[in-house]
Structure 1
Amino acid sequence: MFADAGYDVWLGNARGNTYSRQHKHIHPDTSDFWKFSWHEIGVYDLAAMLDYALSASNASSLHFVAHSQGTTTFFVLMSSLPWYNEKVRSVHLLAPIAYMRNHSFILSKLGGIFLGSPSFLSWILGSMELLPITSLQKLMCEHVCSEGSMFKFLCSGLLDFIGGWGTRHLNQTLLTDVCATHPAGASTSQIIHYLQLYTSGDFRQYDHGREQNEIIYQQATPPSYNVKNINSCVHMYYSDNDYMSAVEDVEYLASLLPCAELYRIPYSDWNHYDFLWSINVKEVINNRIIDKMERYDIEHATGMSF
């Protein structure tokens, strides 16, 4: 839709998944490769992606759209390296995640007990590959999530379990494609970092434990991200049935940002994945974003999207 509207479109990617495993010096079969969380994806990878897209397009700024962890990396980059705010025009964040005090996913509540604070267990489980694409996953996609399968409800049920029960909006015909590409690999440290946010109630850097924190941060606890550094205007889209991005947390975050506009989805059952795969995502989300981008361009200049 963005390309049809006349925009150059650049698709970002997350370190460690199927398309991002070709490190120049470190092999993905070693633990050193997986020593990162979404902090590194934000300050290093997202920064590099923005710079590359702008350089290749000979542009000074772009429109930015992200979902879930992509929004987290945006908050990390713009609060940590605030001069990057000048490189974005309009910003559209779907199901934004920063503060997680009211996060309601049951596995996060359980995981927070064991992994939400630095411990021997979190040290052992950190820096490992999590949920890569496997032959078993491919087999399940072909026989369980495919069109006509009597077990297809298991696939949609899994998305409901993670993103929010009871949605009527999921495009069931996309399930085979979704299953074939999701999940695609990540570092366990990404999950542990989120669990730390849930446990601490703060939006802050990775907690390595007091001793390592003193070495890395020169203080006993991880520094909080200063979201007040995010001076680009941010449009945030959120919903009532999102287990990952709670209404209260999004509205609290908006109260801290210098420039924020909220759009609460007018469907009480809209969940975390409906922002991507709803049957009416065009009318509810995409048209609204494109309209705001076009209005910005009319008022300022032409742009591109990322």
Structure 2
Amino acid sequence: MMRKEAYETVPQLITAAGYPAERHRATTPDGYVLQMHRIPAGRRTSRRSGPSGKGKKVVLLVHGLIGSSADFVIMGPDRSLGYILADAGYDVWIGNLRGNYYTSHQNLTRSDPKFWEYSFHEHGKYDVPAQIDKVLSVTGNSKLLYVGYSMGSTSFFIMMSERPEYNEKVVAFIGLAPAVYLNQIKPLAENTLKDLNIVNTLRSQGMLSLAFRPELIDFVVSTMCRVKQPEGEMCMRLAFPFVGEDYEQIDWDIMMPVIVVRIQPASWRQLEHFGKIAITGVFTSWEDGLFGAVKPYNLSNVKVPVTLLYGENDQLTEKSQIMRLAKELRKTGMLEEIRPGCNWPKFNHLDFVYAKDLGNLLNRPLVKHVDKMFNKYG
């Protein structure tokens, strides 16, 4: 039996948890329509006065690869960042980047190859700016605080490189497992993209994007992922070499049935663009493809304080690579802080949104840091 949370929309999840929920739409200059989800008040305040974000400080949360706004609410009120921020008095907005199921296009359908011609370059250049403008126009605030997880962080740094005027609209940035330098996955990228040419092979077979049919996911979850002991369970065993092993932080009831079912589509170019960054060792734009010109994004355009949090056991956005990013930001005086997300030594890439003890390990202390950033720079 699949849990109902696996299939509920994000507004349904938020409402079921006892919070007010709103849907908003932001449209990009190139025609993508992005649904945003808002939690304007916490559980207790909403009963007293009706939902109102008026006059509150605004936080924007942006998800990672194959993710969505669900990443920030799926673990429930005591654990997920969206709820903990709302209860702490913030007006919480959760973005969606083109390609996931909360996004569409004014003229293109998902079965049109043109729909999928983007990487996270477009997320940074178009999607995030459009969503920031939407949030500020609805709330009347002049600035917000941005929290990006993994690719949501990549998008922030691209936005600042390409659209530096957006520094004026951001109080501070917090990167959770930021994906900017990826040298340690170079062998994997070279093997899959160069030697095996997997992506182009799948493209040539008519697969427009990295997307799994719901019935296939259901089958995988019910056969491979439902086992609750590490020896027999395949899903995590396949994922751990890439993200870091952490059996202790798996909530088996939520992790498998709910999270695997909620995996979102990605464009092939997103994977190839990450591959290009890994292979070249440079935080480079996509330009003319995997083997095309290397053009570094300009990190010195970042003019807001940046906090970087890493997982001690994250194998994907590994500590040494986040330290390299920190060094770049220290040069320009924009590094506020760099530290482990928490003191759990096995904390991995997925734990930033799915850890069993997420509330205590990461998010409650994180909200205190958000308070500090607003007090210092807001």
TM-score by length of 2: 0.69
Amino acid at match of 2:316: M
Of residues 250, 275, 280, the one that matches 1:200 is: 280
CA distance in 1, matches of 2:206, 2:296: 21
CA distance in 2, matches of 1:107, 1:134: 27
Of residues 196, 214, 237, the one that matches 1:134 is: 214
Which runs of 5 or more residues in structure 1 are unaligned? 214-220, 302-306
- Is residue 14 of structure 1 aligned with residue 91 of structure 2? no
Please state how far the C-alpha of 1:142 moved relative to its aligned partner: 4.5
| Structure-to-structure mapping, 1:181-196, within 5 angstroms | 181-182=262-263, 184-196=264-276
Aligned residue in 1 for 2:309: 237
Amino acid at match of 1:229: N
Q: Contact 2:111–2:208 (CA<8 Å) still a contact in 1?
A: no
Q: Contact 2:221–2:261 (CA<8 Å) still a contact in 1?
A: yes
Aligned residue in 1 for 2:146: 64
Which runs of 5 or more residues in structure 2 are unaligned? 1-83
Change beyond 3 A, Cα 1:159–1:123: closer
CA distance in 2, matches of 1:60, 1:50: 10
- Is residue 111 of structure 1 aligned with residue 187 of structure 2? no
Change beyond 3 A, Cα 1:274–1:150: closer
Amino acid at match of 1:163: V
CA distance in 2, matches of 1:209, 1:154: 34
Of residues 338, 343, 366, the one that matches 1:289 is: 366
Q: Contact 2:99–2:267 (CA<8 Å) still a contact in 1?
A: yes
Q: Contact 1:167–1:270 (CA<8 Å) still a contact in 2?
A: no
Aligned length: 288
Q: Contact 2:230–2:247 (CA<8 Å) still a contact in 1?
A: no
Amino acid at match of 1:233: P
Please state how far the C-alpha of 1:122 moved relative to its aligned partner: 10
169-178 or 126-135, which deviates more: 126-135
Q: Which runs of 4+ in 1 moved over 6 A?
A: 119-123, 147-152
CA distance in 2, matches of 1:154, 1:10: 35
CA distance in 1, matches of 2:206, 2:172: 35
- State the structure with bigger RCO (CA 8 A, min sep 6), 1 or 2: 1
Secondary structure at 1:241 match in 2? coil
- CA-to-aligned-CA distance 1:30-66 (integer Å, 9 cap, x gap): 1111110010111101110111111111111111111
Of residues 295, 301, 306, the one that matches 1:223 is: 295
| Structure-to-structure mapping, 1:1-306, within 5 angstroms | 1-20=84-103, 22-103=104-185, 107-114=188-195, 128-142=208-222, 144-146=224-226, 153-175=233-255, 176-182=257-263, 184-208=264-288, 221-257=293-329, 258=332, 259-260=334-335, 261-264=337-340, 265-299=342-376, 301=378
Change beyond 3 A, Cα 1:10–1:125: farther
CA distance in 2, matches of 1:292, 1:33: 38
Change beyond 3 A, Cα 1:251–1:129: same
Identity across matched positions, percent: 27
Q: Contact 1:17–1:132 (CA<8 Å) still a contact in 2?
A: no
TM-score by length of 1: 0.84
Secondary structure at 1:66 match in 2? strand
Amino acid at match of 1:263: R
Change beyond 3 A, Cα 1:222–1:122: farther
- CA-to-aligned-CA distance 1:79-125 (integer Å, 9 cap, x gap): 11111112112311111111112237x64352253389xx9879969
Aligned residue in 1 for 2:37: none
CA distance in 2, matches of 1:37, 1:126: 19
- CA-to-aligned-CA distance 1:113-139 (integer Å, 9 cap, x gap): 3389xx987996999311244221133
Please state how far the C-alpha of 1:207 moved relative to its aligned partner: 4.2
Amino acid at match of 1:86: E
Change beyond 3 A, Cα 1:25–1:151: farther
Change beyond 3 A, Cα 1:127–1:79: farther
- CA-to-aligned-CA distance 1:253-274 (integer Å, 9 cap, x gap): 1111131110124333221101
Please state how far the C-alpha of 1:17 moved relative to its aligned partner: 1.4
Secondary structure at 1:27 match in 2? coil
Question: Cα RMSD (Å) of the superposition?
Answer: 2.9
Change beyond 3 A, Cα 1:269–1:98: same
CA distance in 2, matches of 1:236, 1:224: 20
Secondary structure at 1:56 match in 2? helix
Amino acid at match of 1:272: H
- CA-to-aligned-CA distance 1:222-257 (integer Å, 9 cap, x gap): 321011111111111112321211211111111111
